Amino acid sequence: MSVYPIIMTQSKFIHQDHLSYPFEERGLQFGDGIYEVIRIYNGKYYLFEEHVDRLFRSAAAIKINLPFSKDELSNLLLQLLDKNKMKTNGKVYMQVTRGSAPRDHVFPIDVLPNIYAYIEDLPRKLENLRNGVNAITERDIRWENCYIKSLNLLPNVLAKQAAKENGCYEAILHKDGLVTECSSSNVYLVKDGEIYTHPTTNNILYGCVRMAIERFARELNIPFHEDGFTVEDIGMADELFLSSSTSEIMPIVKVDNTQISNGKPGKVTKLLQAAYEKDALINENEVTQTT
């Protein structure tokens, strides 16, 4: 199974075939909305509160009033798992737009947000997690409010497509050489056993997996610096890795055709991967670690 049949919309549960929107819909016409992607392991959400909190932050940032509290939303999302009898590894995609209204840039008055959430299977990318992936570097041409998880993803889409066309998994974005994040993940450099990554300013999305990584680093006594690195620094990195709900903690072993260190996932990355698997209560038979 891929997408599960029952979806949540406007606090109700319906069959996916019954969801339709008018063509004058603000998400469709303006990208006027926000979204979240939450990982599911063995039928349970991982980093659930962090994602729900971020959805509310994103909504507030673009002045959308959500018609429910955090508890009510959490409850609806939990029911979505139950109603679909979800037991495997997957993800939920949830989207909130400003609503349906005649096309006009100005916010419509008295219009309810359009909301939906659906779940689908997503096996872990074990090969990539074990062996690492390749990346390219691309200019970060996005706007100044990347901390909002907005539907406006055109620069991200173009960067990811460029990565794909170059046979790579991700595009590492940079502003004038300073690395911000990737097209759909956060990125980190390891040097002399210490982690470096862009500070959580408006220029990046504060990833929920990053929040977990900060916690793991504290627990493992690995120094974590909110200190950006440059494209040039990548050449001298001991390790490089990315993080997201769908990619977990993924080693990067080659950038723009240049190998990182010995071309294998590094020690710090592996320690963090092990901490992640423990934290997410991932099944024993699915662990990436061989040592």
Q: Which of residues 214-253 bind ligand PDD (CB under 6 A)?
A: 243-246
* Closer residue to ligand PDD (CB): 47 or 115: 47
DSSP type of residue 246: T
CA angle 153, 29, 4 (to 5 degrees): 65
Judge contact between 230 and 175, C-beta under 8 A.
no
Task: Report if residue 128 touches ligand PDD, rule: CB under 6 A.
Answer: no
Structure-block tokens of residue 114: 């359009």
Q: What are phi and psi of 45, to 5 degrees?
A: -70, 145
Active site residue 191: no
* Closer residue to ligand PDD (CB): 92 or 101: 92
Count of residues that bind ligand PDD according to CB under 6 A: 15
Q: Which of residues 145-184 bind ligand PDD (CB under 6 A)?
A: 156, 181, 184
- Strands (E) across 140-236 are located at 170-175, 178-182, 186-191, 194-197, 224-226
Burial class (CB in 10 A: 0-12, 13-18, 19+), 289: exposed
Task: Report if residue 208 touches ligand PDD, rule: CB under 6 A.
Answer: yes
Judge contact between 267 and 239, C-beta under 8 A.
yes
Give the residue nearest to ligand PDD (CB). 207
Q: Which stretch binds ligand PDD (CB under 6 A): 18-26, 79-87, 206-214, 282-290?
A: 206-214
Task: Report if residue 37 touches ligand PDD, rule: CB under 6 A.
Answer: yes
How far is Cα 48 from Cα 88, in angstroms, rounded to an integer? 16
CB of 22 to ligand PDD, least distance (A): 25
What is the chain's length?
291
CB of 181 to ligand PDD, least distance (A): 5
* Closer residue to ligand PDD (CB): 246 or 261: 246
Give me the half-sphere count of Cα atoms (radius 13 Å) on the Cβ side of residue 115: 20
Q: Which of residues 182-201 bind ligand PDD (CB under 6 A)?
A: 184-186
* Closer residue to ligand PDD (CB): 36 or 239: 36
Any idea which residues carry the catalytic annotation? 149
User: Could you list the residues that contact ligand PDD (CB under 6 A)?
Assistant: 37, 156, 181, 184-186, 205, 207-210, 243-246
